[in-house]
Each structure stands twice: as C-alpha cells, then as structure tokens.
Structure 1
Amino acid sequence: MAESVQEKVIRIIAEQAVLDVSDVHPHSTLQELGIDSLGLVESIFAIEEAFDISVPFNANEPGKSDFDISSVAAIVAAVEGLVAQKAA
C-alpha cells in the first residue's frame, strides 16, 4: 500500500532529524525535533524530490508564503496543497 502524504513527510522529516518515525508527530515543531535551518533546507529538498513539487523559495517567511513550516501538520497540509495544484 502506498504511503500517504503525511506518512511520507513524517518519514522524510524523521530521516533528516535522525529520529525514529514514531518520534515525529503532527503537532511537533521543527525546533522541537532539533531541525535547524540547514536541516530545514535538506528536508525541503527531500520533500520536493519525493513529491516532484517546488516549494516556494520564501517558505521560511510565513507572511510571504502559503507554505507553512510552523509544525509537521502544517508542512503536510502545504505539501498536500502543492500536490493537488500539480494534479490539477
């Protein structure tokens, strides 16, 4: 069975943070997971590659981008939005 968007994003974030998938929860923030700015960039690149999407370059500026990185759930929702745009 194929991974859901949430499962895939959580797996990618866990890999980048060198954590077990069970340690990454939707309510977790990247800061709580120990992901710094370099880890964020690496996570974004991995997400772009995994889903064949382009994350806005200003994703780290919440007021200027629709791509919210405030929590794992927000990242999942943003990725789902980009995947849906691509499919349309």
Structure 2
Amino acid sequence: MSIKDQVIAIVAEQAMLEPGDVAMENSLEDIGIDSLGLVECIFAIEEAFDIDVPFNANDPQASDFDISSIAAIVAAVETLKAEQAV
C-alpha cells in the first residue's frame, strides 16, 4: 500500500468515511475532522509510518507539518519518510 493510500485510509477511518469518499484536495475540515480528530490522525500516521510528526496541537499553524489538505499531508509524510531513510 502506498503512503497516499495509507494516509487516506487513516483519515477516512477517523472521519468515518470510505477511503473513496476522501479526495486529495479535501481539507480535514471538509470531511468533518475536528481538532481532536486531527490529533488522532497525527498519532495514527506516526504509528503507521514509524515517524515523528513535527506537529504542535496547541498551535497547528506554527507546525512544520502542513495539514491544509489531504495532498499536503501525504506530501509531508513522504518527506518525513525520505528524511528517515537517509
């Protein structure tokens, strides 16, 4: 399973949607994920990919982890995985 597919599966599960209902251009807000759901998604992503996500739940805008869309989250996870491989 690709990083994209795994991220979509994690986000869809949190939003109680089918993965096919989650589009890359969706924001988490678009699909009904609130701040608590966001934190749950971050934890699930960290666990699934064995990475540390640079995310501050108290100040999401100050984080180095782009959560503006599903595509941005996928790209950020891909970057973290690539850095981990070095």
Q: The TM-score by the shorter chain falls in which range?
A: over 0.9
After the TM superposition, list the runs of 4 or more consecutive aligned residues in structure 1 that deviate by more than 4 angstroms.
none
| Aligned counterparts of 1:26 and 1:83: Cα–Cα separation in 2 | 19
Partner of 1:76: 74
Alignment length, in residue pairs?
84
TM-score by length of 1: 0.91
Deviates most, 64-73 or 25-34:
64-73
CA deviation digits over 1:29-59, x for unaligned, max 9? 0000000000000000000000000011337
In structure 2, the gaps of 5 or more residues are: none
Partner of 1:12: 10
Corresponding position: 1:57 with 2:55: yes
Indicate how the Cα distance of structure 1 residues 65 and 57 shifts in structure 2: closer, same or farther if over 3 A, else same.
Answer: closer
| Aligned counterparts of 1:19 and 1:54: Cα–Cα separation in 2 | 26
Aligned-pair identity (%): 64
Root-mean-square deviation over aligned CA pairs: 1.1
In structure 1, the gaps of 5 or more residues are: none
Q: 1:66 aligns with which of 60, 64, 67?
A: 64
TM-score by length of 2: 0.93
